[in-house]
A and B are shown apart, each in its own frame.
Chain A
Amino acid sequence: DAGVIQSPRHEVTEMGQEVTLRCKPISGHDYLFWYRQTMMRGLELLIYFNNNVPIDDSGMPEDRFSAKMPNASFSTLKIQPSEPRDSAVYFCASSLAGKISYEQYFGPGTRLTVT
């Protein structure tokens, strides 16, 4: 398997622009997580899905952030409008219910810079 795939790997945008990050989870996995990582706050959970349904979005910082999972093989995280404080590395991870280690498989991340 190719692992979790994220695109783009790097994104530089200007404040106020819309940003869309994409994720393809590992085939067969039924959980998908979106995280944000910064030096100050570490790795924070933004939202996660089970069988394409959002389960917990309490980590989404504000209404400018939205996430969708239209099918089992694709998810997006959108920021509109973007602000400089959104600059971070955004990770997508997937996991399989029933796996006793509950391990999450992370993608390579998208480094977002908002100027």
Chain B
Amino acid sequence: SQKIEQNSEALNIQEGKTATLTCNYTNYSPAYLQWYRQDPGRGPVFLLLIRENEKEKRKERLKVTFDTTLKQSLFHITASQPADSATYLCALYSGGYQKVTFGTGTKLQVIP
């Protein structure tokens, strides 16, 4: 069966360090993968998209990698700040018109 796995345990890191979040999937062949940020009491907010033929994508302090052989995406936040504390969701294109399936998310806590 299809599965998207993100670390269910919260990730705590010190301010200034690089945070690395993982998204693993099985039985998908996604044409693209997205990352969203969700703050408590709010809807998810889009951050980045990476396509299957792209190895890496960067946006400011964010970097996403996509390894279709390992079936894994890594999401990095460099020089992390307390304001980066949130839940981060990966979403895989799963066919049809813009249909994506979301992972359950990883909660990141950046400690000052």
Contacts and interface: CB of A to CB of B under 8 A. Distances in A.
B34, B49, B97 interface centre (most CB from chain A within 10 Å) = B97
Interface in B1-59: 32, 34, 41-46, 49
A108 B41 CA distance: 7
Given A42-B104, A42-B105, A43-B89, A106 B99 contact: no
Interface of B: 32, 34, 41-46, 49, 89, 93, 96-105
A56 B42 CA distance: 25
A55 B102 CA distance: 18
Interface in A24-78: 31, 35, 41-45, 48, 50, 55-56
Interface string A87-104: 000010101010011111
A107 B45 CA distance: 10
A42 B4 CA distance: 11
Contacts of A105: 46
B3 to A, nearest CB: 12
A108 B89 CA distance: 16
Contacts of B89: 43
Main SS class of interface, A: strand
A93 B93 contact: no
Contact of B97 (A42, A55, A106, A108): A55
Contact of B44 (A56, A100, A102, A106): A106
Contacts of A41: 104
12 contacts: A31-B98, A43-B89, A43-B102, A95-B98, A97-B98, A100-B49, A102-B32, A102-B49, A102-B93, A104-B44, A104-B98, A106-B45
A109 to B, nearest CB: 6
A45 B99 contact: yes
Nearest to A43: B102
